[in-house]
Amino acid sequence: MDSVVQLQRQLVDYRAQLFNEGFLDEQFNQLQQLQDESNPDFVVEVVTLFFEDSERLLDELAKALEQQSVDYRKIDAHVHQLKGSSSSIGAQRVQKVCIGFRNFCEERNIEGCQKCLQQVKHEYSLVKTKLETLFKLEQKILAAGGSIPLPM
Amino acid sequence: MESCNCIEPQWPAEELLMKYQYISDFFIALAYFSIPLELIYFVKKSAVFPYRWVLVQFGAFIVLCGATHLINLWTFGMHSRTVAVVMTTAKVLTAAVSCATALMLVHIIPDLLSVKTRELFLKNKAAELDREMGLIRTQEETGRHVRMLTHEIRSTLDRHTILKTTLVELGRTLALEECALWMPTRTGLELQLSYTLRQQNPVGYTVPIQLPVINQVFSSNRAMKISPNSPVARLRPLSGKYMPGEVVAVRVPLLHLSNFQINDWPELSTRRYALMVLMLPSDSARQWHVHELELVEVVADQVAVALSHAAILEESMRARDLLMEQNVALDHARREAETAVRARNDFLAVMNHEMRTPMHAVIALSSLLQETELTPEQRLMVETILRSSNLLATLINDVLDLSRLEDGSLQLDLGSFDLHAVFREVLNLIKPIASVKKLPVTLNLAPDLPEYAIGDEKRLMQTILNVIGNAVKFSKEGSISITAFVAKSESLRDSRAPDFFPVPSDNHFYLRVQVKDAGQGINPPDIPKLFTKFAHTQTLATKNSRGSGLGLAICKRFVNLMEGHIWIESEGLGKGCMAIFIVKLGIPENTSESKNPFLPKANHGQTTFPGLKVLVLDDNGVSRMVTKELLVHLGCDVTTASSRDECLHVVSQDHKVVCMDVGMPDGFEAAVRLHEKFTKRHERPLIVALTGNTDKVTKENCMRVGMDGVILKPVSVDKMRSVLSELLEHRVLFEAM
């Protein structure tokens, strides 16, 4: 039992940290609220979908920026998608970078775009790691027989 | 000789004498018989003859006389007794009739004579009537002339035409030789020859106004004969052989506009006159008749009226031109003002963003800096930077707020809040400064002051803080007391606030707050200036008159928005002052509602929508999944589509709502297609757009393609719930952006 309580506290602290550092925002809480008995794995499903989607988009973006003649409109569309997805799950930092990315797209600034792409990739991998850690913690709690504390 | 029965004449008849008698008697008889015949004949011819009986008598008389003479013819020779008898009878009858006639004639002849006198009388009467008729005709002619003249004169409103026409028409009507008009000059000391009939260009000939003849004419309103030798009548060079015709002069009153402003007709003393001089043709021996003089007088009056009309018209046209000019100028000024306001608003909108960004950076970074390790000196510097930038931020906010207040575009954020807590908060904020200055601050909240109220918490606090802050700022000693209570209707009406008409009602109350301090006080005449922007009171004692001078102006605006009134009372410099304001706040309906800061609408919304068929259209997998889960959580039956075609394929009449992300390329197009597919309004599902864009363009586009609502992403469960309930209730929702 102690370990469960400890794990729960760890989870809560970790979650709080993610929020404080700006990796996640209120939208993530909303997602957690949607999760209930009828749909117990909702958050995991959504986040997994997000990961798949984002990876695909990032590949597309890399490819598009390597072209001879860069199609900014396509890039903009991809970034828009990424921005939408990240805001839907509350990945705040990714979303912020996407906004900057779009500005560079509008200005047709190739260096800016490339820099943003690197930034997005970086932020994405960060948030992915964090979320995976979070889910592992949740699994551990469930395995130990406890329940996941709801966000406050 | 035997005696015969025949009667013999007395003496022997002489043959010749007898013959002549015989002939004469014959002719007499003839005449006597023919006269009645003639009489009868002529009387029959004449229509009226009153004396028929007389005629008969006379006829009888004549016939009998004729008969007598006729019978006399037989008596010249030997005649029988019968003849004598007949003769005698005839004679007797004749005698009777002639006596009768003679008697009758006595009666008749006076009558006949009087007929003659009557005839004479009638003839005289007829002659008199003829004369009078002639007179009337002349008068009527004159009248006609006057009417025609008046008509001519009054048919124009141009002054010159009026005068010229007058002279021309008068000249024609009266067959004048010369007609002239003398107008008074500006100085009023002379008369100047302004118009003449014959001479085309009158020389600027003047005569002094004080001549006796002129005075005489001006003193009466009749046309007067004047001497042809007087200066006003000497218009043509006199040649010897001319015997100048008679001259008449009449005054023409010149009425001024100002004369018509008083109710009764203007006094004579203030009048100016012009002089009209009319000359009959020389050598014509014509004289001025009375009716002609009357004509001239009437014309002169008409001219006066016509001239005044012309003057009024000129005046009104001038006024109208002036007004038009003023209008144009005002319009121009208004447009300039509008441009200025627009420019200012644009400027403010830009500065809003531009100013806040660096401010934000400065404040954020300085506060961050404060958290790091600093030397005491550095700390002091950073604290000063922070304080100053906070002040600057407040100033910027104030200026922007004020401009929004002035435009009327500021609206209160109404909400339920803890009233007591507001006062406590303000007290907490002010206590540090007050204690540094050693000013005790006391707060008195009336027991009947409601705990919770509905109003704009932030701005109310701002107002209270400002007022109390001023009290603290301008006090060096003494205490500051704050009282707050519910204002009853008697205390609401204050003589110092004459145009404040509070209307108490059931779900509102008036909060009255009084802040009294014993500080510098204010000169009573300066009090109104306090509430005007940027105006400082010129008190020598204050060296630290910080503040932009905006604070109270903003407070006043806030208080006005809250349908209240704010004022300051002070007895003078050094006697402290008291700031009082009254604002209208709402009373919350029940305490449970007051605890959550949402607007009361949340009560009558649905919490779940069981079985509501919703279609979600979004090309982003993650968003789609999240939106779907949101709706499922609210109990809806959700179908998803990831493209426009799929959406149109799947959508049916059962779907009540379609949520579509308009960030996708053909989001708007999908809405249009949906409208085409469902032509009847009640079959069509409600279309709601989800977007992350906050700009007006997106909203306008949504409205243009016929969306029923727009929601801003990110959407929370509560937001989706309230949106759906609002949408289903009213069938439209447009979230204010």
- Euclidean distance between CA atoms B606 and B718, whole angstroms: 11
pLDDT of residue B126: 95
- Euclidean distance between CA atoms B281 and B732, whole angstroms: 96
Put simply, the answer to whether B625 touches A45 (Cβ < 8 Å) is yes
Question: Number of C-alpha atoms within 13 angstroms, CB side, residue B25?
Answer: 16
Whether residue A99 lies within 8 A of chain B, CB to CB, comes out as: no
pLDDT at A81 over 50: yes
The pLDDT confidence band at residue B134, using thresholds 50, 70 and 90, is very high
pLDDT of residue B223: 87
- Which chain A positions have a beta carbon within 8 Å of B692's beta carbon? 83-84, 87
Q: What are B346-396's pLDDT values in tens digits?
A: 887 777 777 778 888 888 888 888 888 888 888 888 888 887 887 788 777
Q: Peptide bond preceding B714: is omega within 30 degrees of 0, i.e. cis?
A: yes
A130 min Cα distance to partner chain B (Å):
18
B506-527 average pLDDT score: 84
Domain topology for B153-233+244-257+270-316: Beta-Lactamase (3.30.450)
Q: What is the ipTM of this complex?
A: 0.74
* Structural tokens at position B354: 């531009």
E strand or H helix that includes residue B588: none
The pLDDT confidence band at residue B601, using thresholds 50, 70 and 90, is very low
Give A47-55's long-range contacts (Cβ < 8 A, gap of 24+).
A47/A89, A47/A131, A47/A135, A49/B621, A49/B622, A49/B625, A50/A85, A50/A86, A50/A88, A50/A89, A50/A91, A50/B622, A51/A128, A53/A81, A53/A82, A53/A85, A53/B620, A53/B621, A53/B622, A54/A82, A54/A85, A54/A86, A54/A94, A54/A124
pLDDT of residue B53: 75
B698 min Cα distance to partner chain A (Å):
15
Q: What are B264-292's pLDDT values in tens digits?
A: 554 544 567 888 888 888 777 778 888 88
Q: Does some domain include residue A149?
A: no
Q: What angle do CA B161, B166, B171 make, to 5 degrees?
A: 130
- C-beta of residue B474 within 8 angstroms of C-beta of residue B520: yes
- Euclidean distance between CA atoms B106 and B685, whole angstroms: 133
Domain that holds residue A86: 1-144
Over pLDDT 70: what percentage of chain B? 82
CA distances from B376 to A96, B146, B317, B370, B379 (A): 37, 110, 81, 11, 5
pLDDT of residue B132: 94
B408 or B419, which is more confident: B419
CATH code of the domain made up of B411-492+505-529+549-590: 3.30.565.10
pLDDT of residue B237: 60
Average pLDDT, chain A: 87
Which DSSP string do the residues of B640-698 spell out, in sequence order?
Answer: EESSHHHHHHH--TT--EEEEETTSTTHHHHHHHHHHH--STTTSPEEEEEES--SHHH
- Euclidean distance between CA atoms B515 and B443, whole angstroms: 9
CA distances from B600 to B361, B460, B591, B592, B597 (A): 38, 21, 12, 11, 9
- Which chain B positions have a beta carbon within 8 Å of A38's beta carbon? 632
CATH code of the domain made up of B613-736: 3.40.50.2300
The enclosing domain of A108 has a CATH number of 1.20.120.160
- C-beta of residue B277 within 8 angstroms of C-beta of residue B199: no
A49 min Cα distance to partner chain B (Å):
6
pLDDT of residue A152: 55
Put simply, the answer to whether B692 touches A33 (Cβ < 8 Å) is no
B336-352 average pLDDT score: 83
Among A103-107, B136-140, B427-431, B502-506, the range scoring the smallest mean pLDDT is: B502-506
The pLDDT confidence band at residue B125, using thresholds 50, 70 and 90, is very high
Q: What are B297-334's pLDDT values in tens digits?
A: 888 888 888 888 887 888 888 899 999 999 999 999 99
Whether residue B713 lies within 8 A of chain A, CB to CB, comes out as: yes
Q: What are B706-735's pLDDT values in tens digits?
A: 788 888 776 777 778 888 888 777 766 555
- Which chain B positions have a beta carbon within 8 Å of A27's beta carbon? 714
pLDDT at B295 over 50: yes
The pLDDT confidence band at residue B482, using thresholds 50, 70 and 90, is very high
- Euclidean distance between CA atoms B570 and B521, whole angstroms: 6
pLDDT of residue B543: 40
Q: What are B642-677's pLDDT values in tens digits?
A: 888 888 888 887 788 888 887 777 778 888 888 888
- Euclidean distance between CA atoms B671 and B687, whole angstroms: 7
* Helices of type H across B276-375: 290-371
pLDDT of residue B8: 58
The pLDDT confidence band at residue B548, using thresholds 50, 70 and 90, is very low
Give domain limits for chain B.
153-233+244-257+270-316, 411-492+505-529+549-590, 613-736
Average pLDDT, chain B: 79
pLDDT of residue B181: 85
B590 or A57, which is more confident: A57
pLDDT of residue B595: 43
pLDDT at B35 over 90: no
pLDDT at A37 over 70: yes
B672 min Cα distance to partner chain A (Å):
22
* Structural tokens at position B307: 């001239």
Q: Does some domain include residue A63?
A: yes
Q: Per the structure, how many domains does chain A have?
A: 1
pLDDT of residue A124: 92
- C-beta of residue B500 within 8 angstroms of C-beta of residue B465: no
Residues at the binding site of B are 65, 69, 470-473, 517, 533, 548, 552
pLDDT at B609 over 90: no
pLDDT at B535 over 60: no
Task: Look at the alpha carbons of B437, B438, B439, B441 in this order and tell me if their dihedral is positive or negative.
Answer: positive
